[in-house]
C-alpha cells in the first residue's frame, strides 16, 4: 500500500514480525520473490506460532497474533498496550516451562546480575530430552517481561542507553589507540632476514608460442517456452503458475480469490458474479479481478492476449497489463484495451518485453468500464520465454 497510508500500528506489525521470528526461529512468510512476500503479508494470515514452536504458551501466541492482525484497527493501538499484554500473558503462564529456548537464552544473557539459583540437581542422562530451562516462578515472570520490554525498545531504536554504549565504544577506541606506540603500524608477520633475490635472467626460458586462435562455436538458437497460460495452466491452488486476486477499484488492496464450486462451476470466486474461470472472467462494480505471475527466468518475454465479450450489452470492460507493480491506480500499464458493451469482434494483441529477470512480475487486470452489468468476458493470456510458439 502507499506509504502515505501508514499508521503507528504499521510499526507494531513490523515489531510483531521480529518477535515472531525470535520465538519460532523463522519468519512467517518466505519466498524467493520479494513481491510475492509483500502480497502474502497483505492477503494471508500468518502461520500459528505454536505450530512451529509447540512449547510457546498459548497466552503469548494470542498476543503475537493480535499484533500481526491484517487490519490496523485490530492490532494494539500503542506500544504500551503491546508491552502490557505481553506482561499479562507471561504472568498468566508464570508456573509453566519457559516456552522457547531462544527466550530462555535471551533471559540468561540479559540478566547477569540475577541472584544465583540453588545448585542444580544432578545432570540427567544423555537420552533425557526434557527442557533444561527452568527458573523460579517469580524470577521467570519478571525477567521474561524485562527481556521482552528490551526487545521492544531495541526494535524501535529507542533504547535509553544508546548514547552510553556509543560513548563507551568511542572510549575503548581511544584507549586502544593510545596504547599503541605513535607512528608504529601493526605487523602481521615477524621480521626476519630477507632472502637474497634470485637472479633468474640467465635461467629464464623463452615464452611458449601461443596456439592459434579458434573461433567460438555459434550461439544456439533460443528455444521458446510457454511459461504460463490462463487456459492451459488453470490451477486449483495458489502454488500453480497463476495467482488469482481481486481488489476494490482504484484501491490497490489486492486479496486472493477462493477456488470453489459455485453457480458458474469450478472457478476462483469473491462472489458468484466476481470470478475467474479457465476461459472467462467477470469483474464487479466493487471488484477488479487479476491474474498475477512471477518470473523464474531471465531474457526476452512475449505476452499474447485475446479477449471478447460473451454478454452483449452494458458499457464494456477494460483489459490491462502491468509489469512489476500492484499499484494499478497510479502506475501506467504496458497495455490497455477497452471492449465496448456490444463489441462482437474482440481483440488479439502481442506484447514484447526486451528483458525480464527472476522475481519480476506480470499482472493482467479485467475491470468494469463504468458498470459491471453484462461484463462476462472470454479472455486468454499466454506468457512465453523469447516468443510464443
pLDDT tens, residue by residue, 197-238: 555 554 556 677 777 777 888 778 889 999 999 998 898 887
How many CB atoms within 10 Å of residue 56? 21
Residue 163 has pLDDT above 60, yes or no: no
Residue 41 has pLDDT above 90, yes or no: no
Give the pLDDT mean for 54-60: 90
Highest mean pLDDT among 44-48, 107-111, 208-212, 382-386: 382-386
Intervals of CATH 2.60.120.1240 along the chain: 225-385
Residue 110 has pLDDT above 70, yes or no: no
Q: What are phi and psi of 122, to 5 degrees?
A: -55, 145
> How far apart, in whole angstroms, are the C-alpha atoms of residue 120 and residue 113?
18
319 pLDDT tier (thresholds 50, 70, 90)? very high
Does CATH place domain 225-385 in 2.60.120.1240?
A: yes
> How far apart, in whole angstroms, are the C-alpha atoms of residue 50 and residue 64?
11
Residue 90 has pLDDT above 50, yes or no: yes
Q: Hunting for cell 506480470 — which residue is that? A: 362
Q: What is the pLDDT of residue 211?
A: 75
Q: What is the pLDDT of residue 6?
A: 64
Q: What is the pLDDT of residue 125?
A: 40
Intervals of CATH 1.10.510.10 along the chain: 3-112+135-155
Structure confidence by residue, pLDDT tens digits, 263-293: 999 999 999 989 999 999 999 998 999 999 9
> How far apart, in whole angstroms, are the C-alpha atoms of residue 328 and residue 289?
12
CATH class of 3-112+135-155: mainly alpha
Structure confidence by residue, pLDDT tens digits, 58-86: 998 999 899 899 888 899 999 888 889 88
Is the Cα torsion angle 265, 267, 272, 273 positive or negative in sign?
Answer: negative
Amino acid at each position: 500500500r502507499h506509504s502515505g497510508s501508514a499508521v503507528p500500528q504499521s510499526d507494531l506489525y513490523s515489531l510483531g514480525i521480529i518477535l515472531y521470528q525470535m520465538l519460532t526461529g523463522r519468519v512467517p512468510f518466505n519466498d524467493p520473490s520479494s513481491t510475492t512476500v509483500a502480497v502474502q503479508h497483505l492477503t494471508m494470515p500468518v502461520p500459528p506460532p505454536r505450530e512451529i514452536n509447540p512449547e510457546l504458551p498459548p497466552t503469548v501466541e494470542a498476543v503475537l497474533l493480535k499484533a500481526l492482525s491484517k487490519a490496523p484497527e485490530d492490532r494494539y493501538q500503542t506500544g504500551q498496550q503491546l508491552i502490557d499484554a505481553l506482561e499479562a500473558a507471561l504472568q498468566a503462564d508464570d508456573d509453566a516451562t519457559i516456552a522457547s529456548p531462544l527466550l530462555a537464552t535471551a533471559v540468561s544473557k540479559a540478566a547477569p546480575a540475577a541472584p544465583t539459583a540453588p545448585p542444580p540437581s544432578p545432570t540427567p542422562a544423555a537420552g533425557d530430552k526434557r527442557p533444561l530451562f527452568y527458573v523460579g516462578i517469580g524470577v521467570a515472570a519478571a525477567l521474561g517481561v524485562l527481556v521482552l520490554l528490551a526487545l521492544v525498545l531495541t526494535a524501535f531504536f529507542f533504547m535509553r542507553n544508546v548514547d552510553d554504549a556509543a560513548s563507551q565504544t568511542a572510549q575503548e577506541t581511544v584507549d586502544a589507540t593510545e596504547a599503541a606506540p605513535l607512528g608504529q603500524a601493526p605487523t602481521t608477520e615477524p621480521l626476519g632476514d630477507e632472502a637474497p633475490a634470485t637472479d633468474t635472467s640467465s635461467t629464464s626460458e623463452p615464452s611458449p608460442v601461443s596456439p592459434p586462435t579458434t573461433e567460438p562455436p555459434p550461439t544456439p538458437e533460443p528455444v521458446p517456452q510457454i511459461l504460463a497460460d490462463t487456459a492451459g495452466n488453470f490451477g486449483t491452488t495458489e502454488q500453480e503458475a497463476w495467482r488469482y486476486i481481486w481488489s476494490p477499484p482504484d484501491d490497490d488492496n489486492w486479496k486472493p480469490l477462493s477456488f470453489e464450486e459455485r453457480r458458474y462451476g469450478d472457478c476462483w470466486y469473491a462472489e458468484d458474479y466476481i470470478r475467474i474461470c479457465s476461459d472467462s472472467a467477470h469483474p464487479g462494480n466493487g471488484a477488479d479481478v487479476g491474474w498475477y505471475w512471477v518470473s523464474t527466468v531471465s531474457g526476452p518475454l512475449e505476452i499474447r492476449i485475446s479477449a471478447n465479450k460473451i454478454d452483449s450489452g452494458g458499457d464494456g470492460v477494460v483489459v490491462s497489463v502491468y509489469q512489476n507493480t500492484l499499484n494499478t491506480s497510479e502506475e501506467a500499464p504496458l497495455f490497455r484495451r477497452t471492449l465496448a458493451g456490444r463489441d462482437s469482434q474482440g481483440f488479439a494483441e502481442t506484447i514484447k518485453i526486451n528483458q525480464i529477470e527472476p522475481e519480476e512480475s506480470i499482472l493482467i487486470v479485467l475491470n468494469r468500464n463504468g458498470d459491471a452489468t453484462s461484463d462476462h468476458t472470454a479472455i486468454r493470456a499466454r506468457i512465453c520465454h523469447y516468443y510464443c510458439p
